[in-house]
Amino acid sequence: MTAVLAINNSHKLSSPRLEMPPRLLLGAGPSNADPRVIEAMSRPQVGHLDPSFLKLMGEIQELLRYTFQTDNSLTIPVSGTGSAAMETTFANTIEPNDVVLVAVKGYFGRRMVDMAGRYGADVRQIDKPWGEAFSLEELRSALATHRPAILGIVHAETSTGVRQPLEGVGDLCREFGCLLVVDTVTSLGCFPLFIDDWKIDLAYSCSQKGLSCPPGASPLTMNQRALDKIHNRHTKVANWYLDVSLVSKYWGKERTYHHTAPINMNYALYEALCLVAEEGLESRWERHQKNAQMLWDGLADLGLVCHVPKELRLPTLTTVRVPDGVQEAEIRHQLLNNYNIEISGGLGDLAGKVWRIGLMGHNSRPESIERLFSALGELLPKN
């Protein structure tokens, strides 16, 4: 006899309409999405093999090539956040016991070390204090000592606000016969990045920072040198979902099913990349630098000191030293709760010592800076 279970209505949940506070996101990410991007996400959903979506995929790839400044055929958005794109580079290029050298100068260099080790690499690292960058001479010495298969380095270190100069690093890697993997999570679309000219073999980024798009579709590009290493692997890629030999058949000419792509997130990414192209990369880079300078000048007027020397500062992310006697977390909480402004605290070696202020994409505007200064002027103690 079939049992009939009665519904217990005492367990029924109320379902109020979703409402979220109108935050100004001036932290380390995400940034606020551009209104056009939000609108694009509401377009009618189609299937991931629908002809209209397959056409859109090609357009996204072309826009990504422009934004990365590359002709790489394998230039795609990974279905996942920036960390998924980051893991894609290591999952595909590392075979057990490969020597991987990571130039660590912050939290996300350490994440590279962790990921590489999980794929069986013989991981070596060189370190700089959090707030400094590596010189070509230091990188050359490390490459000569360790002779790695891969060098990993962060272009824009989100934990410190340091811009790593990359000119000449690709040449060094070719001289020593290794691949160059670059983290461009906090640089793509905001300040100069030239994948091909700088001879970067693999680079990954995210959608939710400089591109002013929600997280979930993360740019990735690989050149032929990287693909040759992948094609000549002796072992199967350990991560099925991120295996580019499979994913590339979906994003390549075959358009062969691999996974259900996040349809509406790709609508959003397309619109975000259109905004980049319409503004133009050089104009966009200039805007970010101009607004960063406005931020730095205003911080000095408030008596605040930037952690990173000006020549190495990111226009996207500024680390500010917390003054003596000021409760770092309390200022952030008051900004969030009383002014609807989010900034970030320090990570790792800089935890409790700095605030991190982001000016990325749509949020890199004078009105964002003025609103922040107005709030900080009320919250910080007067000298």
Q: How confident is the model at residue 1 (pLDDT cuts 50, 70, 90)?
A: very low
SS3 of the chain: CCCCCCCCHHHCCCCCCCCCCCCEECCCCCCCCCHHHHHHHCCCCCCCCCHHHHHHHHHHHHHHHHHHCCCCCEEEEEEECHHHHHHHHHHHHCCCCCEEEEEECCHHHHHHHHHHHHCCCEEEEEECCECECCCHHHHHHHHHHHCCCEEEEECEECCCCEECCCCCHHHHHHHCCCEEEEECCCCCCCCCCCCCCCCCCEEECCCCCCCCCCCCEEEEEECHHHHHHHHCCCCCCCCCCCCHHHHHHHHCCCCCCCCCCCHHHHHHHHHHHHHHHHHCHHHHHHHHHHHHHHHHHHHHHCCCCECCCHHHECCCEEEEECCCCCCHHHHHHHHHHHHCEECEECCHHHCCCEEEEECCHHHCCHHHHHHHHHHHHHHCCCC
Q: What is the pLDDT of residues 306-360, one digit of tens each?
A: 999 999 999 999 999 999 999 999 999 999 999 999 999 999 999 999 999 999 9
The whole-angstrom separation of Cα 280 and Cα 137 is 34
CB 204 within 8 A of CB 242: no
Q: How confident is the model at residue 2 (pLDDT cuts 50, 70, 90)?
A: low
* Average pLDDT score, the chain: 95
On the question of a cis peptide bond just before residue 44, with omega within 30 degrees of 0, the verdict is no
Q: What is the pLDDT of residues 300-311, one digit of tens each?
A: 999 999 999 999
Q: What is the pLDDT of residues 166-216, one digit of tens each?
A: 999 999 999 999 999 999 999 999 999 999 999 999 999 999 999 999 999
Percentage of the chain exceeding pLDDT 90? 94
Same fold, 24-30+281-379 and 35-278: no
CATH superfamily of 24-30+281-379: Aspartate Aminotransferase, domain 1 (3.90.1150.10)
Sequence spans of domains, the chain:
24-30+281-379, 35-278
Q: Per CATH, is 35-278 categorized as 3.40.640.10? A: yes
Percentage of the chain exceeding pLDDT 70? 96
Binding-site residue set: 356
Q: What is the pLDDT of residues 12-28, one digit of tens each?
A: 667 788 899 999 999 99
Binding-site residue set for substrate: 356
Is 8's pLDDT higher than 70?
no
CB 220 within 8 A of CB 89: yes
Q: Whole-prediction pTM value?
A: 0.94
